[in-house]
Amino acid sequence: MKKVIIIGAGPAGHTAGIYAARANLKPLLYEGWMAGGVAPGGQLTTTGSVENFPGFPDGIGGSELMMMMRAQSINSGVEILTETIESVDLSKRPFIVRTADAEQQAEILIIATGAIAKRMRVPHEDDFWQKGISACAVCDGALPVFRNQPLIVIGGGDTAMEEAMHLSKFGSMVSIVHRRDELRASKAMQQRVLENPKIEVLWNTVLVDVKGDKALTHVILKDVKTGALRDHEAKGLFYAIGHNPNTEFLGGQIKTDGEGYIITQAGSTVTSVAGVFAAGDVQDKKFRQAITSAGSGCMAALEAEKYMIINPL
């Protein structure tokens, strides 16, 4: 039986691992194999340069940063298995985690399985992914390639509003493409967007394709009422159509919100199951940043250590 098992190998999982190992808890970390559709290392392995993670004044490649976190985990004493957890039994301590062909017991579980940004999967999307198309305006919006250029945000929720506001500081014009004639976002966020002279909303409109040469230059939009297609110049296209947290393998044994995000107590990583902690994007639909994920990974390990002292098995 392991003292601590960590599921997930993004910034949250590795930070939890480093702290747990340094507390002599000998953690076992499952990094998954293309779990949720991303490589071990998580969402940052799908991006080029990360320019807002402290300590790297010239930025650092997303995959490179995650390889460094992985190396630091191993150097700290974390045992890493490249396997995906398919199910868990949280009915009593020790908890059980199961891969396709094995199971393991743990006194404490830290869940750090992240979330995946939804993509529209229009025909030529893969050709321009990270060459103009992104699912994170806060991460990529300030890149020189988007400065004073026409930009598009897809979606009508709070994320789309926030991303449009953020991008309006950089682009020449930001067009929100929304499939209905009414926004889902909160009224306060809507108002800020609708009053911003650098943002327009293209109502009843959907994205059907993207075009470019080496990078994105245009999107093809469809008016859902008339069916008419048109070209629209865009050097940047930002998806803000929601995320899917990786929580299906939990089989409903931990309390989640309506969208499947694990509910943690305010200011902590404590979940509805005593002895199970959650860190990173799997429990955070507000900030969704590498640094906030790493911070909550640290919190999870510290809370796990304290819990084990008070509740020994």
The enclosing H or E element of 49 equals strand 49-50
DSSP 270: B
Residue 232: how many CB atoms within 10 A of its CB? 16
Catalytic annotation, pick one of 127, 140, 209, 284: 140
Q: Distance (Å, rounded) from C-alpha 225 to C-alpha 139?
A: 34
Q: Which stretch binds ligand FAD (CB under 6 A): 71-79, 162-170, 210-218, 289-297?
A: 289-297
* Cβ pair 60, 53 in contact under 8 A: yes
Exactly one of 17, 27, 132, 155 binds ligand NDP (CB under 6 A); that residue is 155
Question: Does residue 132 bind ligand FAD (CB under 6 A)?
Answer: no
Least distance CB 127 / ligand FAD (angstroms): 16
Please list every residue from 240 through 269 that binds ligand FAD, using CB under 6 A: 246, 249
Question: Does residue 139 bind ligand FAD (CB under 6 A)?
Answer: yes
Kindly state the tokens that stand for 287. 């900030």
What are the backbone angles phi and psi of residue 225, rounded to the nearest 5°? -85, -40
Exactly one of 5, 18, 65, 84 binds ligand FAD (CB under 6 A); that residue is 84
Tell me whether residue 298 is one of the annotated catalytic residues.
no
Question: Does residue 133 bind ligand NDP (CB under 6 A)?
Answer: no
Exactly one of 26, 169, 230, 286 binds ligand NDP (CB under 6 A); that residue is 286
Q: Which residue is nearest to ligand NDP (CB)?
A: 157
Q: How far is CA 157 from CA 49, 132, 178, 299, in A?
A: 27, 21, 9, 30
Catalytic annotation, pick one of 139, 158, 281, 284: 139
Q: Of 274, 273, 272, 265, nearest to 299 (Cα)? A: 265
Residue indicated by tokens 């891969």: 99
C-beta closer to ligand FAD: residue 53 or 203: 53
Question: Does residue 179 bind ligand NDP (CB under 6 A)?
Answer: yes
Q: Which residues bind ligand NDP (CB under 6 A)?
A: 120, 154-160, 162, 179-180, 184, 206, 240-242, 285-286
